[in-house]
Each structure stands twice: as C-alpha cells, then as structure tokens.
Chain A
Amino acid sequence: MLTIDDLHVSVAGKAILKGLDLVVQPGEVHAIMGPNGAGKSTLAAVLAGREGYEVTAGSVRFHDADLLALAPEERAAAGVFLAFQYPVEIPGVNNTYFLRAAYNAQRKARGEPELDSVQFLRRVREKLKILSLPEDLLHRGVNSGFSGGEKKRNEIFQMAVLEPALAVLDETDSGLDIDALRQVAEGVNSLRSAQRGFVLITHYQRLLDYVVPDFVHVLADGRIVESGGPGLAGELEAHGYAWVADRKVGGAA
C-alpha cells in the first residue's frame, strides 16, 4: 500500500533523508528504529505533508496515488494518519467537535454520507470503551491542559475513530510511563487488522515488547541500513545503534 522509493528530503537546505526505501503492505507492522538525528521524525512529517520539508528526489506512492502531491487533508482522506510526537494543544476547540469535523470531512472527501451528532457520539463512545478511556476526554479542548500521557492516548483515540488504512506513529511511546505505554500499545493492537498497515517510529525497543512488529528497520543517517524480523529490535537494545554502524562499516570493507 505504501511504497517509498529512494526518498531524499532536505530541511532548510540540509539533507536529512538520503535515499530511503520502504514498502508496507496491508496488515503489516513495520518498526523504524534509529538514533537521534537519523531522520525518523522527518519521515513522519513528510508522509503527513508538513510544510518546510523539501523532497529533492524519490517518490512516495500510497495505493495508486502520488502521496507527495496531496494536501495534508487529502492524505488523511486517502487513509493516512500520523500520531504526532508532540500533539498540538488547541484550547477552545472541543475534542468531540474536532473529531466529528475531521471524520465527516474525510467521509465527504470520499463521497460517503456524513454522520449526525447522535450517530457520531455512539461511535465515539464505543471506541472509548475499547480503549478504556474516560468520557471526559470528549468534553475537553483538543489536548488542552492534557498530560503527556493523555495527549498520546488522545492520538490513539483519534486513530481508532478515524480508522486509517495506514497509521504512522511518531515516537508515540516517548515520555510515557509503563502504564500509559501499555494502554497505547493495547490501543494499537486492537486496531491491527489485515487491511491496515502501521509504521511505528521509535527510539527504544520497549514499545515493541507490547506491539510485536512484523519487520524492524534501522534508520541511520537518512537511510535504512538494516532490516530484519522482530528479533532485530532485541539485538539493537543489547548492542546499541553503534553496533549497526560498525557492521555497515565492516560490511563495506
């Protein structure tokens, strides 16, 4: 469903991604790990369409579309969801209102009928139950005054309501205590399906103890330098990212 081919991206003239390749099929969970500064969050931002990222070469195809040619809202309507590393606080915008506006805008863009507020509330309550989230989340401003853990859980909640085809989670595990991490992981696991792909971007292995990926990739200096099964995450945890860099240097020699 997602095919990234030789992607080069610069930020403010500085090359960050330098030839990244990745293919995600429906039903697959791909973990992307890597040291700070490797380009992990740049990848997430480019997939969601954030401004300020210049694609200098390569392509990203999502289903049959050129993803990079679409506006952020068009990507969302096509089924791409980004769980933000730093969810934005928007005081004065009610969480339920926001989600319904988003949900209905996506449906409208796809030519599907919109849900009225009663239908939508029923759907939202179901999702809250599945994720064991408190109902007061619905009545608050978007991320406004939320703790770090609440913000991340709100991202997962949004993902559950919007049911994207491809979910990109940008360090959703960072800054979470073990209970919040487990809740986030349960949320992700409950949404795994044969139709849905995931890209989990993470710095640490611990999220992958709870969400077992199908593939693990190591991103270093703008490229994927190593790919493997779930066992690769454990090796990274044991040896550190330097181990991958050393192996690459050794392999090239």
Chain B
Amino acid sequence: MTTPLQQALDVADLPVDEPARRRALADARVAPWPERRLEAWRYTSLHALGQRAPRPAAPPAAEPAPPRSVVFRDGHRTGAGLDGLAAGVRLTTGVAAPATAQGDVFDHLSAAFAVDGATLRVDAGTDAGDWLALLHRSGVGADRSWHLRHRIVLGSGARARVLLDCEGARGPALATVDTAIELAAGAELDLACVNAPAEALSLLLRNRVRLAAGARLRLQALDGGAAPSRHELTIDLAGAGASAQLGGAFVLAGRRHADLQLRLRHLAPGCTSTTAWRALADERARAVFDGHILVAAGADGTDARLECKSLLGSAQAEVDAKPVLEIHADDVRCAHGATVGQLDPAALFYLRSRGIPADAARAILVRAFAAEALAGFAGDWPLPARLAALAGLEEAV
C-alpha cells in the first residue's frame, strides 16, 4: 500500500532533473510505507503523515549565522559562520544524489530531493576545538518537505564536538536529517542532538556511526517530541576498544511523540557502551525507547549497559520501553533495565510547602530526573541548559 504522500510525489518538484534522482523518486513512490505491524514501527504511527502532501520548499533567502555554525532552513544552507576554523578542519556544504538509492521510503526521498548538507572533515591528530553547530530551521506556512544529508569524518586521533540542533525546526513539515559518521582509530566525537517540541513537524533523525579501534563517541540527545520525532541511532563499535557513552531525555507534553531506535553493535573485542535514557511523558504524550544492543560472536571483553527510566505525568501518557540485549559472545558484562514510575508526591509536597507553586515544583523535579541521563559526561555540554527550558523552568542554575 502506498500513501497519498507517495502518490503526490512529482518529477516536476525534483531540484535537479537527473537520472539518479528520477530513479530514487520512482523508488519512493512504490516503497512500502512503514506500518505498525513492523516491529521497528510498532509504537510510532506514520498514518497521519502518509495522508499529507508536503512539497519541497523554494530556497529561502540568506540569513546571518552565529559563529562556528551553519544554518540550514527548509533543507537549504542559508548562512555560515566558519571563519577561523583550525588548520586541518574543513566544513563544506552541498550534497549530490547518490548513484544508487538504498533503504526505505525516507532514504529514497532523501536521495531524490536532498540538495544540501554539511561535511565535516577533521585531519588525523587535529582537534577541531569548541562546538560546531549545524542549525536546522524551518518556518511556518504551507506543508513542506526537506531533507539534509550530513557527513562527519574524523581521522586517526582527531577530535570534534558537533551540535545537531533542530530546535528551530517547526512544522508543518516532513524533515529528514541523515548523518553518516566515521571515526578512525582513536578519534573522539562529542555529538549533541536537540529537538525542541514542534507539534506539526514530522522529523526523522538518522545517525549512523562507525567507530574504529579505540575511537570514542559521546552523545547527548534531548527531545521535546514532534509528530513524531524519531531518532534512529545506529552505532557500530567496529574496532577493538572503541567506546560509546550515550545519554538522552525525552520531555514530552501535549500530544507530542518521541521515539528512539537504538541499534548498537559490539562487533570487536574490548568495547564498552553505556546508554542512559530518561523519558517524561505528560498529558497525552508518548515516548518510545527501543534500545537494542548486539554483542557479536568474538566481541569478548564487551561491557554494555543499557537503562531507561520513565515517569508518567498523566493517565493518558504512554511510555513504551524495550531494552534488548542480544549476546553471541561468552566473556561479556552486560546489564539492562527499564523502570516506569510517577513523580514522587512527597517531593512535590515538600517543594510546595516551601512556597514553590505546583507547576514550578513539577518542572524542578522533571528537570532533576531528566538531568540524570546527562550527568557524568566530561566537558561542557549545551544540553543541560536546554533541558531547563524544555522542562518549563524560567532559568537554569
């Protein structure tokens, strides 16, 4: 079954009329639409999205960009502040249609329509310094679609800190942001992902990370939910001694929906991973945590920890937490767990008894709970301050 969204796809809308894009468009038209009977889509319905007909937006006017950032609006680069990057650090923009489009309907759509994206290359042994931000924005107005494909390539021993910020993305739109990340031996990447609440946006964030021996990924993610906001995070610990430290929080209200699909594969010996997520769902919101860790045969000495703790703020809110460990090696240390609870009424009363109004007291407790997932990360991260705002606190302390 294809959807009205697919049927409305039009060759005339292609940004460049070329064979590869025509092929991708044809594939997108006939690709199976993700249905809830598929395990990976069981808790996230794209039915409403499939009934819409978002169209590619025209390239917007240029706009100023903060230092160390590239601004993308509606899938087009509209500004960049890239003066003074260190030698050995190159951040370029633009993307070509891939020769062959693989994957699902969204990969085909991206292959057909994406015209932009950032490519960050950091040479071996080079430290790219402070945070580099990719700022994703979209306006209000007619239903639109935009697609970006980024690439981050760190040479041996290189270091970089990258913020993928979708806080400025608003609906109504279908947006896909694909980031392919390659970390050579001993490279270190700090990656921060932010999606602020946007009721009408359908956002698909696909991060695919491959780590060589001794490489290290630290990732923080903060999601306010959308319609839906889905983060597909695929991490291959492909070289011995690679490590991943992942922490994230969903802070959801209204009818917003956030979905993390983690596919973390320990493919080599001596790799470590820790994954800590916190999900807060209030009102009619829904959070999905699907965390799958695979320990491949031969990945001895693996240390993998996976945890998701959730708080439900109302009887209509829902959290679906599914931590899974699949272990094919012998000498491993693995742990996983999931809990679902509610805000502690005793703590709430304690705060109120000191004069803090009920809403603010709730926000304080929500922030404290979510912040647990962002604790224990080396260096300064931008997300704890963003969390305060998302939790509804007027100021961060």
CA distance A100 to B364 in the complex (A): 12
For the complex of A and B, the 10 pairs showing the least CB-CB separation, nearest first, are: A92-B368, A76-B355, A102-B354, A106-B355, A72-B352, A88-B350, A97-B397, A105-B355, A73-B352, A93-B368
B349-A158 in contact (CB<8A): no
B368-A72 in contact (CB<8A): no
Chain B residue nearest to A80 (CB atoms) is: B353
Complex interface bits, B336-378 against A, C-beta within 8 A gives 1, otherwise 0: 0000000011110111111111101100110111011000000
Q: A73-B358, A98-B351, A105-B360 are in contact. List 13 more A-B contacts (CB 8 A).
A: A50-B353, A72-B352, A73-B354, A73-B355, A81-B353, A87-B350, A88-B346, A93-B364, A96-B397, A97-B397, A101-B364, A105-B357, A109-B355
A47-67 interface with B by 8 A CB criterion:
48-51
CA distance A81 to B355 in the complex (A): 9
What A residues does B346 contact at CB under 8 A?
88
B353-A49 in contact (CB<8A): yes
Complex interface bits, A95-132 against B, C-beta within 8 A gives 1, otherwise 0: 01111111101100100000001000000000000000
Number of interface residues of B (CB under 8 A): 24
CA distance A50 to B350 in the complex (A): 9
The yes or no answer to A71 lying at the interface (CB within 8 A) is yes
A-B contact pairs, 10 of them (CB 8 A): A50-B353, A71-B352, A82-B353, A84-B350, A90-B365, A91-B368, A96-B397, A98-B351, A99-B354, A105-B360
The yes or no answer to A77 lying at the interface (CB within 8 A) is yes
What B residues does A106 contact at CB under 8 A?
355
What A residues does B355 contact at CB under 8 A?
73, 76-77, 102-103, 105-106, 109, 162
The yes or no answer to A94 lying at the interface (CB within 8 A) is yes
Chain A residue nearest to B357 (CB atoms) is: A73
CA distance A91 to B309 in the complex (A): 15
Number of interface residues of A (CB under 8 A): 35
A98-B347 in contact (CB<8A): no
Chain B residue nearest to A45 (CB atoms) is: B349
CA distance A48 to B357 in the complex (A): 14
CA distance A90 to B353 in the complex (A): 14
CA distance A71 to B357 in the complex (A): 9
A48-B358 in contact (CB<8A): no
CA distance A117 to B396 in the complex (A): 12
Chain A residue nearest to B364 (CB atoms) is: A93
A117-158 interface with B by 8 A CB criterion:
117, 142, 158
**Known A-B contacts A50-B349, A51-B345, A72-B349; A105 and B356 likewise in contact (beta carbons under 8 Å):** yes
What B residues does A158 contact at CB under 8 A?
354
CA distance A158 to B349 in the complex (A): 15
What A residues does B345 contact at CB under 8 A?
51
CA distance A96 to B346 in the complex (A): 20
B45-100 interface with A by 8 A CB criterion:
none
What B residues does A94 contact at CB under 8 A?
397
- The distance from the CB of B345 to the nearest CB of chain A, in whole angstroms, is 7
What B residues does A81 contact at CB under 8 A?
353-354
Chain A residue nearest to B397 (CB atoms) is: A97
CA distance A162 to B354 in the complex (A): 8
What B residues does A49 contact at CB under 8 A?
352-353
CA distance A96 to B351 in the complex (A): 13
- The distance from the CB of B350 to the nearest CB of chain A, in whole angstroms, is 4
CA distance A90 to B371 in the complex (A): 13
